[in-house]
Structure 1
Amino acid sequence: MNFYNFINLLKIESIKQEKTINLIASENYTSLASIIYSSSCYINKYTEGYPNNRYYSGCKIFDIFENKSIIESQLLFSSLFSNVQPHSGTQANFSVFQTLLTKNDKILSLDLKSGGHLTHGFKKNFSGQIYNIINYCLDKNNKINNYNIELIIKKEKPKLLILGYSSYQGKIDWKNLKNISKKNNCYILSDISHISGFICSGLIENPINFSNVVSSTTHKTLRCIKGGILLSNNEKIFNKINSSVFPGQQGGCISNNIIAKYISFKEANNFNFIYYTKQILINSKIMLKTFLYRGYKSSINETINHMFLIKIQSCSLLIEKILEKNGILLNRNFFPNDFKTSFKPSAIRIGLSAVTTRKMKNLEVELLANYICDIIENNEKKFNNKIKILCNKFPIYK
């Protein structure tokens, strides 16, 4: 592939993003400033180690950037300690496991089909292969039941309880679950990857005081570039976590990304970001309400974050592909207690972060929900132009 073909592919992707509606809950659009700083000359610099303790020379200026990123993230999450080096949420979680657990230790986590995550114990993931995984499930109302979790903890005596989910739209009672875990000598890892933007805005309770460690990705509701972060108020544990990140499981950090993380943390430490996350919640509730009005079933009839599940009677994979042809991106997903396979599960997952970044509000998201319902019900492919008109009215970067 020559250079001009490569540039052309980038242009095609850029146009595609501008001309499609993104309802994938794990995605968002980072700022132009973050993109610029992530493409800086620090792409060239190897910065292995931590500030003032590097294994290569020439890192004094980068030490300033990383320290600023650490401080900004501490302010954002009211945390005493922060590590901004993990390349991803997966590597952040792996570092926690290395710190708190030994091989075959028990982990208690939400079942994948109930809304758990691959790195929380899926059998084909490292977490499920190295550790002894016990799952809790949602109750009959598709909600997390603290009493059920307590019964399992008392019986199984896990060493780690994981809180935080990839497709759960309800509340988490951090305080009560901490009390349960503390009585049974069980650590808590709160994986806030999907809700970190709401937590730093004060819209969802901060689990930092109820957890031994908090992990997160940075590219979902936090609206940063892709990466991971680790937080804690326990100095002893966090010193071990730092050693687990480096040199335990990754070498040099991605220097340019850490600078971009700092920019995004700074952007999130702002009243405008609070207004943004509040609008996400409004948009999410309006879109869910529209689906319910049209006769669709969700796992629960409310959402306190950016996402929700909608049960599909027909093939969810087919619906995903038809929506994509109409310019709408989302993903098929398990519904609680799903009996279908991961290739063709029973639901679709919808997230409102990216369209809210485009400044779409109440009317637009209600319109989008009705478009999606019409496409599902009529198997139609005539909405592409309507989607393009909506995208042109709400550009990402123009």
Structure 2
Amino acid sequence: MNKNFYNFLDLLKIESIKQEKKINLIASENYASLSSIIYSSSCFINKYTEGYPFNRYYSGCKIFDIFENKAIIESQVLFSSFFSNVQPHSGTQANAAAYQSLINKDDKILSLDLKSGGHLSHGFKKNFSGNFYNVVNYCLDKNNLLNNNNIEKVIKYEKPSLLILGYSSYQNIVEWDFFKKISKKNNIKILSDISHISGLICSGLIQNPINFSDVVTTTTHKTLRGIKGGIILSNNKKIWNKINSGLFPGQQGGCISNHIIGKYISFKEANSYEFINYTKQILINSKIMLKTFLYRGYNSSSDETLNHMFLIKINNECSSYIEKILEKNGILLNKNFFPKDSKSSKKPSAIRIGLSSCTTRKMKNLEVELIANYICDLIEKKNNFIKLDIIILCKKFPIYK
């Protein structure tokens, strides 16, 4: 074993210690279980499994076929779906395959503006979705909320082929049934990207869009608390074959076999009462932390949050500077656009906070209120000894025991 290998092991150890000693409030992240990590590192990493169960390009896939079918069934149960493709490497590739199954190149997509909380893969001009399709946007209203009637007016005027519902920094909920009615009236397809809220949906805490959408996509590593990857769901039988061919060979070749095993374990873990209680605590923690910021005089895009995350506006300091100061003191979060933001992506007006990771560490009401006050104190330069307090708090709530 050469010296460089030992150096790499040292780097892994440093990263592991860092994660244990820092509070993670990044809304797009969570901690996968040890079981899912172990299974996703299995010997299936050696197997190339191009194609679908019982219809592979290469031989020797019989055992993997069993595992992939189990992952498919488990995800179908989880989301009350009749169809599931568990092969996408990421949420973005899931979206790409969904577009390919629903619309044609240069067709018009209607999605939320990026600065209002949309996602890069929903039509950002520098993303493939903005290059391959004709993208127009809707925005939040003056209260920073989705306005159903305003969106309906945009639909009637723009006449898109596809409406995308699903957001990366929106702290309220979507009325899926309303948009289903509108889509029928205007003959458009609906893609619901639930990457951020899928864990809350499969627990029954937020309405499931599966019966109100042509396709549902999600990542597996946010509130779903699995290993990294994506899945595609649908109850529209007419497009199941299109989805499969849109992903393979349309978007990717062989799936990451060992990751599908890890996804299967993650899905089984989410199909439990323990997971439902976990997601309930996420909502409680999210509301308490937001309330603490509001009490301290900060502004959010809304005075309430109905999911795991929220935005806090930074007035007197640069959000990228605040992000760095917090990281130095042991708190991880990300700078983010505030709705109708006039600033650039490098120095936007807000920070985004998510409570999934803290809740995975079993932190509850008192801890999240304390963390919110730590953040306020650091922004206001009132406390220079928070780093040690964070290390002590993290030690009380380890990620992996």
Structure-2-length-normalised TM-score: 0.98
The aligned counterpart of 1:268 is: 270
The aligned counterpart of 1:368 is: 371
Match of 1:321 among 306, 319, 324: 324
What are the within-5 Å matches in structure 2 for residues 45-84 of structure 1? Answer: 45-84=47-86
Q: Aligned pair 1:333/2:318, yes or no?
A: no
The aligned counterpart of 1:4 is: 6
Paired letter, 2:77: L
Pairwise CA distance, 1:214? 0.1
Gaps of 5+ in 1: none
Pairwise CA distance, 1:271? 0.3
Match of 1:311 among 288, 303, 313: 313
Q: Aligned pair 1:85/2:97, yes or no?
A: no
Match of 2:161 among 159, 162, 179: 159
Paired letter, 1:291: F
Gaps of 5+ in 2: none
The aligned counterpart of 2:45 is: 43
The aligned counterpart of 1:383 is: 386
**SS at the partner of 2:250?**
helix
What are the within-5 Å matches in structure 2 for residues 96-245 of structure 1? Answer: 96-245=98-247
Paired letter, 2:361: R
Query: Are the structure 2 counterparts of residues 256 and 87 from structure 1 closer, same or farther at C-alpha, using a change threshold of 3 Å?
Result: same
Paired letter, 1:331: N
Pairwise CA distance, 1:381? 4.2
Pairwise CA distance, 1:40? 0.4
Give per-residue Cα distances to partners, 1:23-57, cap 9 Å, x unaligned: 00000000000000011000000001000001111
How many residues get paired?
A: 398
Give per-residue Cα distances to partners, 1:89-129, cap 9 Å, x unaligned: 00000001111122211100000000000000111111111
1:325–1:381 Cα contact (<8 Å) kept? no
Paired letter, 2:129: S
* Higher mean displacement: 259-268 or 96-105: 96-105
1:114–1:337 Cα contact (<8 Å) kept? yes
Q: Give the CA RMSD over aligned residues.
A: 0.8
In 1, distance between residues paired with 2:385 and 2:244?
Answer: 53
Give per-residue Cα distances to partners, 1:261-312, cap 9 Å, x unaligned: 0000000000000000000000000000000000000000011110000000
Pairwise CA distance, 1:382? 2.4
Paired letter, 1:113: K
**SS at the partner of 2:137?**
strand
Give per-residue Cα distances to partners, 1:66-91, cap 9 Å, x unaligned: 00000000000000000000000000
Match of 1:342 among 345, 350, 362: 345
In 2, distance between residues paired with 1:373 and 1:48?
Answer: 50
**SS at the partner of 2:380?**
helix
The aligned counterpart of 1:30 is: 32
Structure-1-length-normalised TM-score: 0.99
Pairwise CA distance, 1:379? 6.8
Pairwise CA distance, 1:171? 1.5
1:322–1:381 Cα contact (<8 Å) kept? no
Pairwise CA distance, 1:63? 0.4
Give per-residue Cα distances to partners, 1:160-194, cap 9 Å, x unaligned: 00000000001100000110111101100000000
In 1, distance between residues paired with 2:248 and 2:195?
Answer: 21
Kindly report structure 1 stretches of 4+ aligned residues shifted beyond 2 Å: 379-382
**SS at the partner of 2:18?**
helix
Pairwise CA distance, 1:238? 1.5
1:322–1:379 Cα contact (<8 Å) kept? no
In 2, distance between residues paired with 1:150 and 1:232?
Answer: 24
Paired letter, 1:373: C
The aligned counterpart of 2:19 is: 17
In 1, distance between residues paired with 2:12 and 2:255?
Answer: 26
Give per-residue Cα distances to partners, 1:322-363, cap 9 Å, x unaligned: 000000000000000000000000000000000000000000
